[in-house]
């Protein structure tokens, strides 16, 4: 059920090139003026497609595949998807195929809301999991390998920029994050359920796939919260490397 964790990653990566694009950048990367949406979109798209293995001079981490050490999805006793899921050693594939559709904001004076929107045709998560709880009234326990595939994902990421003065220089930090993620289809495969009871395992995986829309809706809040915290930490880390103005053309 944690395909969403990935999104964390997903959006993280999209933001890091956006903000990291203007430090000690290579000659092939086009710099932009503040709030130049068309230029920012093209530059971010270029970096995503060309540098999936990362680009140190832009403070861009490798992102396809992206390795995620751990992720915890907490259970909610008031939800029909009342299960705790721990994911570890997860590889996320597909982010380099992201298409950025819109970028707004990044004003010189930090004012206004900022937005990043895009589309990802396919994301795949492979890793280890452990789960305990209930899904749609059916007990769910197990640990082992998992595979989650998400198709045709649209996302919208909104945030505020705030100045932070250090040693006489003004840096940027982001907060007040809102993340919206909508997949067209999600496929789940969890191995090792019910101590490798193959019949029960197949039944649960079928239940998850037949009801993925309900499961996504119930998990959306906790998942996007986790993703937002990851994004905030990584983006603020990148913004802390250079004064805000150094990322843009004068």
Confidence of residue 210 (pLDDT cuts 50, 70, 90): very high
Q: Is residue 119 over pLDDT 60?
A: yes
Using CA atoms of 5, 9, 15, 21 in order, give the dihedral in degrees to the nearest 10.
Answer: 170
178-191 residue pLDDT tens: 989 899 999 999 99
3-class secondary structure, 109: coil
CATH of region 3-104+117-157+176-247, choose from 3.30.300.20, 3.40.50.300, 3.15.10.30, 3.30.200.20? 3.15.10.30
Q: Is the pTM of this model over 0.85?
A: no
* Angle of helix 3-20 versus helix 212-239 axis, rounded to 10: 30
């Amino acid at each position: 059920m944690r395909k969403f964790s990935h999104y964390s990653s997903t959006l993280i990566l999209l933001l890091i090139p956006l903000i990291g694009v203007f430090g000690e950048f290579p000659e092939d990367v086009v710099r932009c003026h503040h709030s130049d949406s068309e230029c920012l979109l093209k530059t971010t798209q270029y970096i995503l497609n060309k540098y999936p293995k990362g680009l140190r001079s832009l403070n861009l981490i490798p992102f396809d595949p992206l390795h995620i050490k751990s992720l915890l999805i907490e259970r909610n006793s008031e939800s029909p998807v009342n299960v705790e899921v721990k994911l570890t050693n997860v590889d996320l594939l597909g982010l380099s195929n992201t298409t950025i559709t819109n970028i707004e904001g990044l004003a010189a004076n930090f004012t206004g809301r900022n937005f990043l929107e895009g589309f990802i045709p396919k994301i795949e998560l492979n890793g280890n999991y452990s789960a305990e709880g209930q899904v749609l009234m059916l007990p769910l326990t197990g640990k082992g390998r998992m595979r989650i595939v998400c198709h045709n994902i649209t996302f919208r990421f909104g945030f505020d920029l705030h100045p932070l003065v250090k040693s006489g220089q003004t840096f940027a930090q982001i907060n007040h994050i809102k993340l919206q993620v909508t997949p067209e289809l999600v496929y789940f495969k969890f191995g090792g359920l019910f101590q490798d009871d193959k019949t029960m395992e197949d039944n649960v995986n079928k239940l998850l796939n037949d009801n993925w829309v309900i499961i996504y809706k119930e998990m959306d809040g906790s998942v996007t919260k986790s993703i937002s915290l990851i994004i905030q930490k990584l983006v603020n880390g990148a913004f802390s490397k250079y004064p805000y103005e150094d990322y843009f053309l004068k």
